[in-house]
Structure 1
Amino acid sequence: MGSTVKTKGLRIGGMTCISCQNKIEKKLRNTAGIVNAEVSYNEGTASVTYDTDMISYQSIVGIIEHLDYKVLTDQEKQGMNGGKVTGILLIIVALYMLIQQTGLLNLLSPGQLADESMSYGMLFVIGLVTSVHCVAMCGGINLSQCIPKTSEETTGGGRFSSLRPTFLYNLGRVVSYTAVGFLVGALGSAVTFSTTLQGVLKLAAGFFMVIMGINMLGIFPWLRRLNPRMPAFIAKRVHKQKSKSSSPFIVGLLNGFMPCGPLQAMQIYALSTGNSFSGALSMFLFSLGTVPLMFGLGALSTVLGKKFAGKIMTAGAVLVVVLGMSMVSQGLSLSGVAVPDLAYGKSGGSADEQGNPADFKIEDGVQVIKSTLSSGRYPNIKVQAGIPVKWIIDAPKGSINGCNNRMIIRDFGIEHTFQTGENVIEFNPEKTGKVSYSCWMGMIRGTISITDGPVDGQTSEPADKPVPAGYTIPTDEIAIAEESTDEYGNPIQKITMELTDNGFKPAAAVVKSGVDVEWKIIDSTTENNYGTNLLVPDFATQLSLEKGENLLYFTPAGSFDFSTGDNAFYGYIKIVDDMKTMDIHAIKEEIKNFKTQIWPDDTFQGAGGSCCQ
């Protein structure tokens, strides 16, 4: 009687990547009685042709489940119910919001690595979280099956001898991951990576992480087609070499070339560094993050059971999706796409957080904004369109870290590297709207709101009012009026000042009230212009000085200040009732404390005004 060959279709649960497909397929094809086996990760199915006289369907199911996968029943084939899917998605969104609002990922960028091309602390965490995928790829609680052991390795030598294969396997993975990072980074060094291209690569890496995490959860099976994968011919050669090797270290080395979702996402990330050593360091820290679970979860799961391992896989998959979403958000920001930032959307907080700077004013036609840099956030600010902006950001000691150390404002073509102390950023907002900006990694973000009218809380003076000049009139020398008579015999006072390239000499004078004054100003400036304008705001007068001597006349009624037309230098005339009883020290203090101001142009009349003649 001849044997009976039968083909059976199965739905397999628990596959997380193409390596799971290859693993199941290889095991089935090497089992006596199975004529052929075709496994599809994309479809989550297997087609098995077997000899019923040599092996039963139940035995085939047992082989698959022994590899820590599950053959689904008709009811399970229908997938998760809508309520469970909704619950998982809500958890993912809530966790993402929490991480964004707390700025948790920003704390993972140590300041000493600030000049490197990515958040190394974040890469370690990604490795730690995504290592659940590595465990799943090797079969969960049967992790030890991934590590061949020789009789020499399993006998004698005590406790360390039993851990030696696992140690060598993980050492091999770390070495191969680092080497691949070096090669990929070197490839990236041949390409000029703009901020936009870095954002696109980060976006791609984050997208693949999200897809991989969702596939680990098994909630949208159709997304399996989008998983990144290594070319089939390379994957087959790697598997072939792994099967031939009995060395855990060699198997670990070959795993660096496995078709693994998170690994390929991080390779894309390393590519964006554009530097071989940065790429190597990135992959080294990522690989270190994968070691703890790979080293210990197999033994832990054996003790706590398969159900516990499944919960760890689910929790890890959720975190993979959340980290991927965060990376997508950062990639969008670096690519120039405005992304709503949940970290800045909450109510309350300081004026800086709400976009109303704590110190905002207009000086000399420039919007001056003062902010303080914090380690985990950038301020949102408001400015008026059409007026240049001078943004002064104070960076206290210890506030600069590996993420916030470089700010990118793409719309204005600005990349600013922060230094401890005062940092000045200048730009001219021409159009109204919102401009998003971020740190160089896209993790910390802020917005610049550009309005078409005055900014709320603006402290600048209206256009018809003066603004402080900040100039202190020198009082080291003061001219005292000399009594004399004019050509008609009338009493007159005479004072003389010289205008030099360094200001008025002297810059102050004292005259008696009610007696006409002859004021001689000698313009000895070295500039090649015709002369200098003299502004006297109390008399609303603007006068032109010629090179050399200029005689001006006025009748003193009250003390007043004056300045050059460009407001570079100021002087002061003090009026007293009695020259003999005046207190020269008090006068010096008065002049020294006088608040000089810049007056709008329409304050002054043309030459020949009512002040002087």
Structure 2
Amino acid sequence: MTALWLVFLAGAAGSMHCVGMCGGFACGLGPAPGGRLATLLRHLAYSVGRIGSYAFLGTLAGYLGMLLVGHAGENSTASMIQRALAVLSGLLMLGIGLNLAGLLGHRGHALGGAGARWLTQSLRTLLRQPGPGAPLAFGVLNGFLPCPLVYAFAAQAAASGTALTGLQIMVAFGLGTLPAMLAMSGLGLWWRARHQPDGAPAQPVVASFLPAPAARLDWRMQGVRAAGGFIVLLGLITLARGVVPMSAHLH
């Protein structure tokens, strides 16, 4: 439970990264034709789809980890594989966390390549669809965009050894990002209502109300560095699960 709270806090801190990477999508989702309730459901459906993708990835990673290690006791080969997986996952999380914290000299976005471009274009296409299923599908695709935060927690899910724990880890991460993404949705709706005349075509809203580029970068980096610190802590916990004998975790 303590680890899940740390995952939630890391998601909340890392949501500054999500705002920079996906906040424009949340802002651009716009209102629904059916009024305020329909608009709220539209934006919640987007968030449910995004967190649903995280839950799927966590369940899959946890299940694959469980298949790999089995449950054959402390001195079994499977137990040694589980400990090795925890060590590798912990080291991966440490690397991602230190990178996000700016201690490795490079903080780049993982969004790139032909697959990412295809996903981004698909998101933009869904963004223009008025149907009730569009925001849900929009969120599902958004959840599969390459992201170092997702990689870090998927690694922890794989090391957890069960599909259920993997699901819990990724849902906790997704819930941590939820407030910031809903806030971006609200800002986008507010901006449209204030500056876009009725019947006018949709205009880009993100760059209009965010701070200047330098200030925005510093604001986001503070959150990303905090998320990196939480991921480093979780990486150390995961690493300890592989180094310390499994029986010691029961005491």
Is 1:238 aligned to residue 119 of structure 2?
A: yes
Q: Who is 1:293 aligned against?
A: 180
Q: Who is 1:177 aligned against?
A: 54
Residues of 1 paired with 2:210 and 2:117: CA distance?
33
Q: Which amino acid aligns with 2:37?
A: F
Residues of 2 paired with 1:127 and 1:204: CA distance?
17
The answer as to whether partners of 1:126 and 1:286 remain within 8 angstroms in 2 is yes
Residues of 1 paired with 2:51 and 2:211: CA distance?
27
Is the partner of 1:214 in helix, strand or coil?
coil
Deviation string, structure 1 residues 335-377 (Cα, Å, up to 9, x no partner): 54xxxxxxxxxxxxxxxxxxxxxxxxxxxxxxxxxxxxxxxxx
Residues of 1 paired with 2:67 and 2:145: CA distance?
25
Residues of 1 paired with 2:4 and 2:235: CA distance?
17
Q: Which amino acid aligns with 1:198?
A: A
Is 1:262 aligned to residue 149 of structure 2?
A: yes
The answer as to whether partners of 2:45 and 2:136 remain within 8 angstroms in 1 is yes
Q: CA deviation at 1:187?
A: 1.5
Q: CA deviation at 1:294?
A: 0.5
Residues of 2 paired with 1:130 and 1:329: CA distance?
18
Q: CA deviation at 1:202?
A: 2.0
Q: Who is 1:481 aligned against?
A: none
- Count of aligned pairs: 214
Residues of 1 paired with 2:164 and 2:247: CA distance?
27
Q: Who is 2:92 aligned against?
A: 204
- For 1:456-471, list aligned pairs within 5 A: none
Residues of 2 paired with 1:205 and 1:277: CA distance?
20
The answer as to whether partners of 1:196 and 1:334 remain within 8 angstroms in 2 is no
Residues of 1 paired with 2:171 and 2:39: CA distance?
25
- Residues 229 and 195 of structure 1: is their aligned pair in 2 closer, same or farther, counting only changes over 3 Å? farther
Q: Which amino acid aligns with 2:211?
A: K
Is 1:166 aligned to residue 47 of structure 2?
A: no
- Residues 239 and 271 of structure 1: is their aligned pair in 2 closer, same or farther, counting only changes over 3 Å? same
The structure with higher relative contact order (CA 8 Å, sep 6+) is: 2
Residues of 2 paired with 1:272 and 1:332: CA distance?
9
Q: Which amino acid aligns with 1:161?
A: A
* Unaligned ranges ≥5, structure 2: 70-80, 192-208
Q: CA deviation at 1:172?
A: 0.8
Residues of 2 paired with 1:242 and 1:265: CA distance?
23
Q: 1:306 aligns with which of 200, 204, 211?
A: 211
Is the partner of 2:97 in helix, strand or coil?
helix
| Cα RMSD (Å) | 3.2
Residues of 2 paired with 1:414 and 1:299: CA distance?
48
Residues of 2 paired with 1:161 and 1:291: CA distance?
19
- Residues 234 and 275 of structure 1: is their aligned pair in 2 closer, same or farther, counting only changes over 3 Å? farther
Q: Which amino acid aligns with 2:158?
A: L
Residues of 2 paired with 1:332 and 1:276: CA distance?
19
The answer as to whether partners of 1:168 and 1:248 remain within 8 angstroms in 2 is yes
Deviation string, structure 1 residues 268-298 (Cα, Å, up to 9, x no partner): 1111122222211221121111101110145
Q: 2:227 aligns with which of 306, 320, 339?
A: 320
Is 1:415 aligned to residue 243 of structure 2?
A: no
Q: 1:144 aligns with which of 14, 27, 42?
A: 27
* Unaligned ranges ≥5, structure 1: 1-107, 110-118, 337-407, 419-613
- Taking structure 2 as the reference length, what is the TM-score of the superposition? 0.71
- Taking structure 1 as the reference length, what is the TM-score of the superposition? 0.31
Q: Which amino acid aligns with 1:123?
A: V
Is 1:273 aligned to residue 160 of structure 2?
A: yes
The answer as to whether partners of 2:152 and 2:231 remain within 8 angstroms in 1 is no
Q: Who is 2:201 aligned against?
A: none
Q: CA deviation at 1:305?
A: 5.2
Is 1:123 aligned to residue 1 of structure 2?
A: no
- Residues 315 and 139 of structure 1: is their aligned pair in 2 closer, same or farther, counting only changes over 3 Å? same
Is the partner of 2:160 in helix, strand or coil?
coil
- Residues 291 and 239 of structure 1: is their aligned pair in 2 closer, same or farther, counting only changes over 3 Å? same
Residues of 2 paired with 1:328 and 1:169: CA distance?
30
Q: CA deviation at 1:134?
A: 0.8
* Larger Rg over CA atoms: 1
Is the partner of 1:262 in helix, strand or coil?
helix
- For 1:521-600, list aligned pairs within 5 A: none
Q: Who is 2:102 aligned against?
A: 214
Q: Which amino acid aligns with 2:6?
A: M
Residues of 2 paired with 1:251 and 1:296: CA distance?
18
Deviation string, structure 1 residues 46-69 (Cα, Å, up to 9, x no partner): xxxxxxxxxxxxxxxxxxxxxxxx
Q: Which amino acid aligns with 1:183?
A: L
Deviation string, structure 1 residues 5-52 (Cα, Å, up to 9, x no partner): xxxxxxxxxxxxxxxxxxxxxxxxxxxxxxxxxxxxxxxxxxxxxxxx
Residues of 2 paired with 1:311 and 1:212: CA distance?
13
Q: CA deviation at 1:259?
A: 0.8
Residues of 2 paired with 1:309 and 1:300: CA distance?
16
Residues of 2 paired with 1:203 and 1:184: CA distance?
17
Q: CA deviation at 1:331?
A: 4.5
Question: Which structure: greater strand fraction?
Answer: 1
